[in-house]
Amino acid sequence: MNYKILNFTVFGDVRGSLISLESNKSVPFEIKRVYCIYGTNPEQDRGKHSHKELEQIVVCLNGSCSFVLDDGKKRAILTLDRPDVGLYIGKNIWREMKNFSEKCVIMVLASEYYDEKEYIRDYGEFLKCLES
């Protein structure tokens, strides 16, 4: 499946920790957009879509949440709970976000500007697109 766990280099000392993310270096694409999700509700799942071209890296900066990834054949469930780990999600992966902890903060680095036309928000359509 087209996803990867990225372990970022942490510069840590008695003052705390620092992580630096750079386009085409620790991040395997040119970053065109950054967005954050916060104020989530453990009862309310998010995501439930795929992207035709978009690549993303998801980092859980605080708290934790689960990602369900699906390529039409297999499903993987991952928990993100630390800021020095990124979840790379390639194109044509259905994703669902669940089990948001209290004060969960998610940062997403994206390879393209926001474009609603590029989303597939229907699971049946997602499966159909994989065949073509």
Rule CB under 6 A: which residues touch ligand TYD? 33, 35, 46-47, 49, 114
**Nearest-angstrom CA–CA distance, 39 and 41:** 7
CB of 28 to ligand TYD, least distance (A): 20
CB of 92 to ligand TYD, least distance (A): 16
- Burial-class residue 57 by CB neighbours within 10 Å (0-12, 13-18, 19+): buried
CB of 81 to ligand TYD, least distance (A): 18
Q: In terms of CB distance, is 49 or 82 closer to ligand TYD?
A: 49
**Nearest-angstrom CA–CA distance, 51 and 93:** 7
Q: In terms of CB distance, is 46 or 82 closer to ligand TYD?
A: 46
Pick from 23, 31, 20, 37: nearest CA to 80 = 37
**Nearest-angstrom CA–CA distance, 15 and 8:** 18
Q: In terms of CB distance, is 11 or 114 closer to ligand TYD?
A: 114
Residues annotated as catalytic (active site), given as ranges? 49
Using CB positions, name the residue nearest to ligand TYD: 46
CB of 113 to ligand TYD, least distance (A): 8
CB 79, CB 64: distance < 8 Å = yes
**Nearest-angstrom CA–CA distance, 54 and 123:** 17
Q: In terms of CB distance, is 15 or 113 closer to ligand TYD?
A: 113
